[in-house]
Structure 1
Amino acid sequence: MRVDYVVRAIAELLNDGELVYVGLNSGPAILGAFMARDLMKKDIDIVGVAEAFNPKSITLSPSTGDPFFLEGSPVMITVDSFDLAQKGELDVMFLGPAQIDEETNVNLTAIGDYERPKVKLPGGAATAYLMPLVKKMILWNLKHSKRSFVKRVDFVTGSARLSRNSVYVVSDMAVMRYDRSERRWKVIGLYPWSTLDEVKERTEFGVEEENPRVISITEEEKRFIEKLDPYELRSALELP
């Protein structure tokens, strides 16, 4: 599955010593975090909305907030994770916005006019609070197009524009890093099926390359993902 490559790309962005927070409905993010910790043997701690600290293992379910995460794991309530963010001690957080723009603004609220939206989105929960605080924000979107990667989001649910943190995007076409000094997105990773020109064509704002490498995945890594997702729930994220 192509989404397996996205999981692999997410795992690569995690580093030793990081405290990683995974939110709701974040299948690729939780799979990537566990791949980084358990297969790549990176020294990371995983917390999230299921309120468990470093769950021993998972079986992917429709919600990453499923309480089965608590089995055999210490409890770490959400408010404590948010307190760590306020203190500058939360290293990584994932978000899956419907829209991302050239200034790191994200939209999880509504498409179109807020008063009469074309699409009402789930909402941002603590997005506005957390985005400027975490040290590394990893955004993921599996429908890389000009409708998702826009010049300006329809509604600013949250933003890292005024922060100094690191911001990355992992999509089904590329991995990108936000360069604060140049205020531009840089393509740092591509997949076997994508090219820089295609990424540019599917992005409403300008992007530049930064020695992008082709992301690969091994058979061992595929088997690892399949073990955590035996019901192939991630297949629902696959595009035609």
Structure 2
Amino acid sequence: MKIDYVIKAIAELIDDGELVYVGLNSGPALLASFLARDFQKKNIQIVGVAEAYNPKDIILSPSTGDPFFIKDSPVMITADSFDLAQKGRLDVMFLGPVQVDQETNINLTAIGRYERPKVKLPGGAATAYLMPLAKKVILWNLKHSKNSIVKRVDFVTGTARNSDNEVFLVTNLAVFKFDREKRTWTIVSIYPWSELEDIVNNTGFHVELKSDKMITVSPEESAYINTLDPYNLRSALE
């Protein structure tokens, strides 16, 4: 499945020694974190809205805040995770915005005018607080088009433009990194089905090609992801 390549792409961005926070409704990020820790054997710690500290294993459910993740795991309440972010000790934060723009602004609030939106989105919770504080922000959006990867978001729910952290964007067409010096996004990896013309034509701002590294997924990696998602919930995201 194509979603497995996206999960692998996210896992590749996680490094040894990192404390990783998985937010609400972040199925791909949750699967990627376990792929990085238990299959790729990276020494990472996983926390998140389920308030479990480094859970031993999971079965993907409709909510990444599923309290059953806490079973057989120490509890780490959300307030403590936020406190670590304030102290500069939260390494990775995942967010799944509906819109991302050329300045790292993201939108999880509304499409159209805020006063009379065309679509009311679920909201950003602590996005505005955490996004500039996490050392690495990994954004994911699985509907890459000029409606989602835009020149300017309709509403700024959060931003990393005034931070010095690393910001990545993983979509169903490519993986990007924000270049703070050039103030632009660069393509750092692609998928077997990716075409540069499609990426450019579906992006609302200028992007640069830094690398055409190919994301691949082995049968063993897909089999491992299947053990975490036996009900195949991730297929609904394709």
TM-score, scaled relative to structure 2: 0.99
DSSP-derived class of the 1:8 partner? helix
The offset of 1:212, in angstroms, is: 2.0
Corresponding residue for residue 19 of structure 1: 19
Q: Where in structure 2 are there 5+ consecutive unaligned residues?
A: none
DSSP-derived class of the 1:115 partner? coil
Corresponding residue for residue 191 of structure 2: 191
Corresponding residue for residue 39 of structure 1: 39
The offset of 1:198, in angstroms, is: 1.0
Give a deviation string over 1:116-142, Cα, whole Å, max 9, x none: 000000000000000000000000000
The offset of 1:96, in angstroms, is: 0.2
Could you tell me how far apart the structure 2 residues matched to 1:237 and 1:218 are? 20
Corresponding residue for residue 141 of structure 2: 141
Could you tell me how far apart the structure 1 residues matched to 2:106 and 2:53 are? 27
- Asked whether 1:84 is paired with 2:98, we answer no
- Asked whether 1:63 is paired with 2:63, we answer yes
- Asked whether 1:236 is paired with 2:236, we answer yes
Corresponding residue for residue 4 of structure 1: 4
Give a deviation string over 1:24-78, Cα, whole Å, max 9, x none: 1101000000000000000000000000000000000000000010010000000
Could you tell me how far apart the structure 2 residues matched to 1:66 and 1:39 are? 22
Corresponding residue for residue 50 of structure 1: 50
Could you tell me how far apart the structure 2 residues matched to 1:212 and 1:94 are? 23
The number of residue pairs the alignment matches comes to: 238
TM-score, scaled relative to structure 1: 0.99
Could you tell me how far apart the structure 2 residues matched to 1:211 and 1:35 are? 23
Letter in 1 for 2:204: E
DSSP-derived class of the 2:17 partner? coil
The offset of 1:100, in angstroms, is: 0.1
- Asked whether 1:169 is paired with 2:177, we answer no
Could you tell me how far apart the structure 1 residues matched to 2:212 and 2:95 are? 23
- Asked whether 1:105 is paired with 2:105, we answer yes
Corresponding residue for residue 213 of structure 1: 213
Moved over 6 A (4+): none
The offset of 1:13, in angstroms, is: 0.2
Letter in 2 for 1:35: L
Corresponding residue for residue 151 of structure 1: 151
The offset of 1:211, in angstroms, is: 1.6
- Asked whether 1:29 is paired with 2:29, we answer yes
Letter in 1 for 2:220: E
Could you tell me how far apart the structure 2 residues matched to 1:196 and 1:44 are? 33
Corresponding residue for residue 127 of structure 1: 127
Q: Percent identity?
A: 68
